[in-house]
Structure 1
Amino acid sequence: MTEPVLSVRDLAVRIGRKEIVRRVSMTVEREQTLGIVGESGSGKSMTALAATGLLDAPGATVSGSSVLAGEHELVGASARALRQVHGARIGFVFQDPGTSLNPLLTVERQITESLQAHRHQTRRQARVRALELLEAVSLTEPQDRLYSYPHQLSGGQRQRVMIAIALACDPELLIADEPTTALDVTTQAQIITLVRDLQRDFGTAVVWISHDLGVIGEVADTVTVLHGGTAVEQAPVDEVFAEPRAAYTRELLRARPVLGGDGPPAAATDSGTLLDVDGLDVRFPVTTPTGRSVVHAVKDLSFRIRRGHTLGLVGESGSGKSTVAAALTGLVSPDAGRALLDGTDVFRVRGSQRTSVRRRISVVMQDPFASLNPRMPVGTSIAEPLVVHRLAANRKAREARVGELLGAVGLAASFASRYPHELSGGQRQRVNIARALAVQPELLILDEATASLDVSVQAKVLDLLLELQRDLGLTYLFIGHDLAVIERLSHDVLVLRSGEAVEYRPAADLFAAPEHEYTRALLAAVPPDRLARA
């Protein structure tokens, strides 16, 4: 019998006095995918880093055993031994390719680096291999992309480059740490198919780390569920979905939004249109290697948002979703069109009228950590709009209002004294929602506001948004790429592609019978409900 590609026994990680990973054991066979799933802080990434000898945290101690191909002990291995293994026999694909790639090096140089170091290829040989790899990962115009820098590529293209780098030396093991979390559903489906094909062609074993059980259900053969650094369940993927044994696994499965679930509750009596956008057109001048050009980001777009309702705006990366939000909030100036908010054109207001209109529209961005000032207590961040718009008479009134806002999003008033790094991702996003509500807006724009959250935290934030809409009569523009989330919140849905509306209908009608082939493609790309099939 052949040895497992990776055999981990009683792996433990301690940082200071805190035990992060508790005696985790697992094996990965050749051509097999092991899925590691759990919430943020469960120890998923720490387990993979410690098992592969890549953990380099101050004060961290690793114990136990992790053996590669039955011959290389990775726990406690020397730096020299690990350098010979990393890149050559173990490849890594991390969540954010933007930070994983060197912004100063071309795609060609970043791929050929490991080939020259581990395979001792000449520059010419390495360049030929780099081109083969870009073709293998289905990157468009691979010859031209060799000379591109990371900032010139889309998120999906950067992730394909990361996979090409990871596979450059034909590794026995590929560690994929949340490789599709920030990608839209069609790009995610393409990456999943790509890894499957490469695994079949090269016989690579894969460890796929994710908080999304839907993705794990598509890629994994076996699943390890981590909670608080402990493996609470380990079984074949179909068994985990059909008969989960651990209560935590059942909680993760229940929290995952799936297509065909309950849509939003019926809105209050229709009291007319709050926002009427007509002919919105946005262009950006850009500089390319061949000279100046223009990107037509949004093309003659029209839509209405009914008061007290939610419009879901959905599409792939680059479809123009965030540009629409930027135009409505004054971050970009449209080239044409109008947006009437109760009869006032938000694109053309000036002076004090502009301040008044901007108060009526608030926004919650995707990254809850980057949206908050790390040097400010969250109470100060929430109070900031109250100061700017003079909505509280004095400091005592501001503190009272901050307490009310924290209570509205399900947080205790004591959270006002905490800093962002002291909060979980879900708590930080609740703070961002509280800050957005401070000005008592009529329209709340949520730009991928739950995309970076764990499924259980996401479910709680979605329930919170529905509760706030019901209690406060809020109107939402919800921007996202997860159609299951869009279905959960939206009364109407607008599907964007390359800046153009391809389908705009009531949500129930669109999800029951999508008319446009692009909408059908988006729906087909959503990971299936494995509970129903298992």
Structure 2
Amino acid sequence: MTGTPAVVPANGAVLSVADLRVSIGGREIVRGVSFDVRPGQTLGIVGESGSGKSMTVLAATGLLDAPGARVTGSSLITGTDGGAPTQLIGAAERTLRRVHGDRVGFVFQDPSTSLNPVLTLERQISESLETHRGMTRRAARTRALDLLTAVGIPDPERRLDGYPHQLSGGQRQRVMIAIALACDPTLLIADEPTTALDVTTQAQIVELVRALQQERGTAVVWISHDLGLIGQVADDVTVLRQGEAVEQQPVLGVFDAPRHAYTRQLLDARPLLGQSAPPPADASGAALLTVESLDVRFAVTGPTGRSVVHAVDDVSFTVRRGRTLGVVGESGSGKSTIAGALTGLVRPRAGAARLDGEDLLAGRGASGRRLRRRVAMVFQDPFSSLNGRSTIGTSIAEPLRVHRLTASGAAERARIAELLELVDLSGDYVDRYPHELSGGQRQRVSIARALALEPDLVILDESTASLDVSIQARVLELLLRLQAELGLTYLFIAHDLGVVQRMSHDVLVLRGGRTVEHRPAADLFADPREEYTRALLDAVPPVRPRAAQAG
């Protein structure tokens, strides 16, 4: 089914934005941004968090709903039924409701918050079809089935009556794309749609959007902090910094002849294959942690009754002192479950883990606490792992007090200041709260908190996955410096092999809870033995943009 014939703005664009400005509380957030998106074209909008990417697109499409926000400029979307293009800035709610979901489809970063957990997939897809196309319930169900098939959902007829929690992250994002494309919009807004996905699923989503775009002639605005990804999806690129468009070029021009220093900084921050970890501080290669035949299972209750998920199946590995073992695999491969087992958050069914010969899994009481103190963990989302009601000083002091690592008063304050200095933060941060810090600063605090334990082993569970690539690069450099200075040992969990190669001396590849490969990093990246490892490597965005490869 196709939408109503569209009338485009005079310049041929599906969306034409001119001199867009957004002010909140007297502060200008977006400063005179202009761009056009034409049928079948993808415009990439790129920049760090806080650069105004999402704010620009939300304001341009009439979705910005911030108290005290003032939006000026022009934003014209294609018209229908021979009518003039629609001005979205200042448009009435009735006009915006008619445009959203019909002429403009949206795919946001986190499908788990965008999808309604209590509605079936059929109901969520058919809602816009009934609203904008006046379809009957039966016709909408047929269309929903066609859409789930088009986006590659397995067994789509059965899934129609299912719920979002029964799908993987990649499948939920495919459902979001189906909802966005239900009414054949002329414009698709993709706001960081792959940031929360592993690299192989990311590559599949990119190919899916491209195929659907070619089939339907949809214009796409793709928002991302990663220029490497933008290079694989975009025809033209707008680089935003502090709400201002500092560079606008075709994608090849951005990669081959960037005009602005900020663009070059974003290019340099990409995690590319070929960047090896520095030599380990400890050349002895002595084992610090030895894991043997680890087995973890979870009992789950689903629509068909109770079942058992075999999350980790007979996994063995060694982490050598002063080195980094990278653990890589897709979502659901068992990476974080292994971290949970080693830190006591998950109880394994079988297996052994020995830290310097001591049983890490069986320790109880005072001896168990002493042993657990030697293993620290840094989680993916620092905003969730830090207590929003506690100051930074209090958060860092907590492990010091629990394990009685320093006396209270002046000695404790001095230790907190020392830990902040280790992660390149000043003592002024002691009295701040997590919401007052950037994502990179919060992750530095999480690292300082982990180091307060004076651990032998630090487990980093996707600790840079939620950060912009430029901030990620700085945090990775910090981790490498701390390892060299303090002789730390890392278990580095990630889904991005470019990042894993930069950090790791050895690599463990997991799939479906089982070991695929466990080898020195140099050997694995030079000559991967397994097809799955090669697939992970192939999913890393290449140095050159897709347009150059096509040429």
Normalising TM by the smaller chain, what interval?
over 0.9
**Structure 2 CA distance for aligned equivalents of residues 145 and 31 of structure 1:** 30
The residue type equivalent to 1:426 in the other structure is G
1:490 matched to which residue of 2?
504
Residue in structure 1 matching 2:287, options 264, 273, 283:
273
Of residues 513, 528, 532, the one that matches 2:542 is: 528
The CA deviation at 1:266 is 3.8
* Structure 2 residue corresponding to 1:11, chosen from 20, 23, 26: 20
- Show the counterpart of 1:226: 240
User: Which residue identity is paired with 2:75?
Assistant: S
In the alignment, which residue of structure 2 is the partner of 1:77?
91
Q: Percent identity?
A: 69
The 5 A counterparts of 1:186-197 are 186-197=200-211
Map 1:90-105 onto structure 2 (within 5 A).
Answer: 90-105=104-119
The root-mean-square deviation of aligned C-alpha atoms, in Å, is 1.1
Q: Give the deviation of 1:267 after TM superposition.
A: 3.4
Alignment counterpart, residue 468 of structure 2, candidates 454, 470, 479: 454
Q: 2:388 aligns with which of 349, 352, 374?
A: 374
- Give the secondary-structure state (helix, strand or coil) at the position aligned to 2:384: coil
Give 3-state SS (helix, strand or coil) of 1:370's partner: helix
The match for 2:194 is 180
> Are the structure 2 counterparts of residues 247 and 448 from structure 1 closer, same or farther at C-alpha, using a change threshold of 3 Å?
same
* Partner of residue 135, structure 1: 149
Amino acid at match of 1:20: I
Query: 2:458 & 2:280 partners in 1: Cα distance?
Result: 18
1:383 partnered with 2:392: no
Residue in structure 2 matched with residue 65 of structure 1 by the alignment = 74
Q: With structure 1 as the length reference, what TM-score do the two structures score?
A: 0.99
Structure 2 letter corresponding to 1:87 = G
Does the 8 Å CA contact 1:285/1:295 hold for their aligned counterparts?
yes
State the distance in 1 between where 2:282 and 2:362 align: 31
Q: Is the 8 A contact 2:251 2:545 kept in 1?
A: no
Describe how 1:47-446 pairs up with structure 2 within 5 A: 47-69=56-78, 71-446=85-460
CA distance in 1 between counterparts of 2:492 and 2:388 reads: 26
Q: 1:504 aligns with which of 513, 518, 532?
A: 518
User: Given that residues 367 and 452 in structure 1 are in contact (C-alpha distance below 8 angstroms), is that contact kept between their aligned partners in structure 2?
Assistant: yes
Gaps of 5+ in 2: 1-9, 80-84
Deviation at 1:264, TM superposition (A): 3.0
Contact 1:242 1:531 in 2 (8 A): no
- 1:99-152 deviation digits (Å, cap 9, x = unpaired): 111111111111011111111101111011111000000011111211121111
Query: Aligned partners of 2:284, 2:262: CA distance in 1, in Å?
Result: 40
Amino acid corresponding to residue 421 of structure 1 in structure 2: H
8 Å contact from structure 1 (residues 270, 308) kept in 2: no
Structure 1 position 2, deviation (Å): 6.7
- Aligned partners of 2:280 and 2:322 also within 8 Å: no
Residue of structure 1 in register with 2:483 after alignment: 469
* Matched letter for residue 340 of structure 2: A
Of 425-434 and 260-269, the range deviating more from structure 2: 260-269
Q: Is the 8 A contact 1:20 1:228 kept in 2?
A: yes
SS of the residue 1:331 aligns to: coil
Q: Aligned partners of 2:300 and 2:402: how far apart in 1?
A: 34
Whole-angstrom distance in 1 between the partners of 2:427 and 2:327: 33
SS at structure 1 position matched to 2:200: helix
Quote the Cα distance in structure 1 between the aligned partners of 2:284 and 2:239.
45
Aligned counterpart, 2:6: none
| Count of residue pairs brought into register by the alignment | 534
- 1:414-439 Cα distance to aligned partner (Å, 9 max, x none): 10111111100000000000000001
Q: Secondary structure at the match of 2:58?
A: helix
Q: Alpha-carbon deviation of 1:523?
A: 0.5
Alpha-carbon distance in 2 for matches of 1:262, 1:390: 38
User: How far 1:271 sits from its partner (Å)?
Assistant: 4.8
- The one of 30, 45, 53 aligned to 1:36: 45
1:390-447 deviations in Å (ceiling 9; x for gaps): 1111122211111000000000011011111110000000000000000100000000
Partner Cα separation in structure 2 for residue 231 and residue 451 of structure 1: 26
Whole-Å separation in 1 of the counterparts to 2:417 and 2:164: 43
Quote the Cα distance in structure 2 between the aligned partners of 1:497 and 1:531: 29
Contact conserved, 1:275 with 1:342, CA < 8 A, in 2? yes
CA–CA distance in structure 1, aligned partners of residues 441 and 286 of structure 2: 34
